[in-house]
């Protein structure tokens, strides 16, 4: 029968869980308590609900096998739209190790989901150091129940994740389990000096270090990351078919170029983005970064003061444009 040890072995086989503290968390926090049911993809694009208490033993076995496999699980769907999920455990492990949260640090999680990630954080840091926020009261209510069943009681707050949680600020670490088009200013304002913010953005994982003036700079990790958008934030505008019209085949096939288009959407003309990407040697995610200062947020390639920078979509400077120098 599938068990937490099976999941840990699968994650370790991929080269993750190198930190013993996080390994212990994944071994000792039972994922099954957080996903009493989930929706598995079915034929024709439909979903099949698998349930812990299904009277059919074969379906119960399939439920448990999925829980302790290294895969994301859809936990809440409304009108065919995915609202919440339990992320792929190996990606969760990688993000938690990137977060580098240590003893005594206070962590804010944006996007509670079923509560599994909050439980892992609570196992490592203690309940009093973990705050998790989600907009949907149905999600936070369910997460509180799952956490209590597992023996954890972090602060679970129902609210707009883009606004953070000022009541328990400042935070040494902020981790988002949903994607954003830019870093919400409230996260920067609620960060302690030296804090680290880890958030999905433009199909990548952005790691920002905050200084004592509330400004931040950081690079993307090499890891691809595809998450549900933070609700209330704008999604992508142009359809991919339009963006790739006339693009060479190498651009259409390249995940790295797709990432650049997502990072520059509405700010760089796709043809200009392709020229930059090709001339720069087809850069991968870790060569890009973001700087945030005085209400402005800019993406950049290689150097925040270099020749290739542009505003992030939705920020004060944003608007159509081309590749700009830092003084533009």
Average pLDDT, consecutive stretches of 10 residues, N- to C-terminus, the chain (328 residues): 89 93 97 96 85 96 96 89 91 97 97 97 98 96 98 98 98 96 96 98 97 96 92 56 67 90 89 94 97 96 96 69 36
- For residue 327, what are the contacts with CB-CB under 8 A and spacing of at least 6? none
At residue 313, the pLDDT reads 78
CA distance 265 to 258: 10
CA distance 8 to 91: 12
DSSP state of 161: G
At residue 246, the pLDDT reads 66
Q: Cα dist. 157→187, 211, 243 in Å? A: 15, 26, 39
At residue 236, the pLDDT reads 47
At residue 251, the pLDDT reads 81
Residues 86 and 38: beta-carbon distance below 8 Å: yes
CA distance 36 to 67: 9
Task: State phi, psi for 197 to the nearest 5 degrees.
Answer: -110, 125
Q: Work out the burial of residue 236: count CB atoms within 10 Å of its CB; fewer than 13 is exposed, 13-18 middle, 19 or more buried.
A: middle
Q: Number of C-alpha atoms within 13 angstroms, CB side, residue 281?
A: 6
At residue 323, the pLDDT reads 46
At residue 243, the pLDDT reads 60
Q: Number of C-alpha atoms within 13 angstroms, CB side, residue 223?
A: 23
Residues 118 and 154: beta-carbon distance below 8 Å: yes
List the domains of the chain with CATH numbers.
4-224 (3.40.50.150), 240-311 (no CATH)
Q: What is the pTM of this model?
A: 0.92
- Dihedral sign of CA atoms 296, 301, 304, 306 in order: negative
Residues 87 and 177: beta-carbon distance below 8 Å: yes
Query: Among all residues, which ones are annotated catalytic?
Result: 84
CA distance 132 to 192: 17
Dihedral angle at the C-alpha atoms of 84, 257, 233, 176, nearest 10 degrees? 50
Residues 188 and 210: beta-carbon distance below 8 Å: yes
At residue 234, the pLDDT reads 60
């Amino acid at each position: 029968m599938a068990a937490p040890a099976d999941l840990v072995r699968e994650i370790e086989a991929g080269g993750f869980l190198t930190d013993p503290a996080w390994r212990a968390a994944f071994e000792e926090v039972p994922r099954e308590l957080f996903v009493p049911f989930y929706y598995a993809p079915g034929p024709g694009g439909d979903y099949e609900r698998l349930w812990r208490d299904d009277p059919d033993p074969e379906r119960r076995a399939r439920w448990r096998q999925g829980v302790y496999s290294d895969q994301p699980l859809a936990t809440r769907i409304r009108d065919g739209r995915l609202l919440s999920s339990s992320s792929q455990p190996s990606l969760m492990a990688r993000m938690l190790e990137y977060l580098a949260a240590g003893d005594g640090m206070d962590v804010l999680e944006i996007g509670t989901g079923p509560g599994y990630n909050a439980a892992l954080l609570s196992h490592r840091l203690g309940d009093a150091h973990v705050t998790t926020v989600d907009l949907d009261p149905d999600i936070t209510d369910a997460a509180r129940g799952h956490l209590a069943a597992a023996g954890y009681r972090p602060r679970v707050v129902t609210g707009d994740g883009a606004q953070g949680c000022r009541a328990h600020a400042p935070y040494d670490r902020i981790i988002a389990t949903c994607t954003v088009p830019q870093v919400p200013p409230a996260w920067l304002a609620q960060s302690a000096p030296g804090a680290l913010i880890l958030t999905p953005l433009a199909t990548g994982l952005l790691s920002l270090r905050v200084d004592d003036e509330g400004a931040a700079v950081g690079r993307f990790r090499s890891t691809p990351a595809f998450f549900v958008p933070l609700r209330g934030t704008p999604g992508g505008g142009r359809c991919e078919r339009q963006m790739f019209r006339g693009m060479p085949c190498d651009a259409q096939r390249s995940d790295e170029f797709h990432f650049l288009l997502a990072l520059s959407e509405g700010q760089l003309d796709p043809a200009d983005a392709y020229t930059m990407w090709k001339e720069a040697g087809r850069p991968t995610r870790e060569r890009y970064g973001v700087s945030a200062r005085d209400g402005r947020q800019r993406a950049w390639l290689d150097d925040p003061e270099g020749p290739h920078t542009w505003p992030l979509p939705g920020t004060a400077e944003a608007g159509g444009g081309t590749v700009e120098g830092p003084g533009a």
